[in-house]
Amino acid sequence: MGKENTVRIKTLILSAATAFALSTGVASAAGGGSGHIENIDFSFDGPFGSYDDYQLQRGLQIYSEVCSACHGLQYVPIRTLGDAGGPEIPMDRVRAYAKENFEVFDAELDDFRAATPNDNFPGSNLENAPDLSLMAKARAAFHGPYGLGINQLLKGFGGPEYIVAILTGYTGKEKEEAGTTLYENTAFPGGWIAMAPPLSKEGGDVEFTDGHANDLHHVSEDVAAFLMWTAEPKLEDRKFTGLVAVILMALLSVLLYLTNKRLWAPHKYGRKED
């Protein structure tokens, strides 16, 4: 009987291992076999990281001058550009930015009008151009052991790194399929993407007033950081709340331990006779 139980246990272990291997294999296949994504030390990484407001301002400029021609940010209120923990642009400049760059349809006027800070960014101009509001969260690049999320804890989800890899992964090769021009990209699942390279490999697509580097990699990192903020505008508040919760839990654990020792010590070690 003991031998039969041993065989059953071995069979269960082998079955579980096979199921795990198949599930991870399917997950990898579903990911499309995307290319290697390099980790980037963004300022907002880690439990104590925070956004660089100057980087977010540069990212906003890149989005406005390059990305907004096709892609939208329909879930982001324009007024949040002035929030603490974000680009922190003065409200007068936010009003001017909204008025000069966007028009929104007003149902009451039954016509278009200049956008105000209370409006959201417009949606995408093209049907096949995804909205970028959640791109940095939707496109996770780092996956730890199945169900554990170890890599996510150490390196973040990797959405901004994925965006940088896509923007810098064009090889210059093209092909046509079903009347659609595809562009080879080493980071995109399947290796080919319908989006033409939005940034030139030589850089110089935007000019920053502060003289910051505008080569391909720096520009890609700046716009990726901005898109991470659009997906997680309250990231810093969430980290602070989590840190406070951990500290309180640690203090509570110490208090419970000391209380437990005080309450049960007489019963465990016996009362001393007077």
How does pLDDT run across 194-226, given as a tens digit for each residue? Answer: 999 999 999 999 999 888 999 999 999 999 999
Helices (H), 111-158: 135-138, 150-155
pLDDT of residue 134: 87
* Strand partners for 177: 180
Beta strand pairing status for 192-193 and 103-106? unpaired
pTM of the model: 0.78
Using CA atoms, how far residue 184 sits from 131, 164, 174, 233, in Å, is 22, 15, 6, 32
- On whether the CB atoms of residues 232 and 136 are closer than 8 A, the answer is yes
- On whether the CB atoms of residues 217 and 168 are closer than 8 A, the answer is yes
**SS3 of 188, please?**
coil
With CA atoms as reference, report the closest residue to 59 among 258, 219, 247.
Answer: 219
Q: What is the identity of the amino acid at 196?
A: A
- On whether the CB atoms of residues 49 and 55 are closer than 8 A, the answer is no
- Count CA atoms closer than 13 A to 103's CA, side-chain side: 7
In angstroms, the CA 155 to CA 40 distance is 9
Angle at 126 between CA 123 and CA 127, to 5 degrees: 90
Average pLDDT rounded to a whole number, residues 157-165:
90
pLDDT digits 0-9 by tens, 94-108: 999 999 999 988 888
- CATH class name, domain 33-89+121-246: mainly alpha
Residue 62 structure tokens: 């890149």
Residue 244 structure tokens: 């406070």
Average pLDDT rounded to a whole number, residues 251-269:
83
pLDDT digits 0-9 by tens, 63-95: 999 999 999 999 999 999 999 999 999 999 999
pLDDT of residue 96: 97
pLDDT of 34 strictly over 70: no
pLDDT of residue 269: 66
- On whether the CB atoms of residues 39 and 158 are closer than 8 A, the answer is yes
- On whether the CB atoms of residues 182 and 193 are closer than 8 A, the answer is yes
* Strand partners for 103: 114
Q: Helices 53-65 and 216-231, interaxial angle, to 10°?
A: 100
Distant-in-sequence contacts of 123-131, Cβ < 8 A, 24+ apart: 123/72, 123/74, 124/70, 124/71, 124/72, 124/74, 125/69, 125/70, 125/71, 125/72, 126/70, 128/194, 129/70, 129/71, 129/72, 129/195, 130/71, 131/71, 131/72, 131/73, 131/74, 131/75
pLDDT of 165 strictly over 80: yes
In angstroms, the CA 148 to CA 141 distance is 15
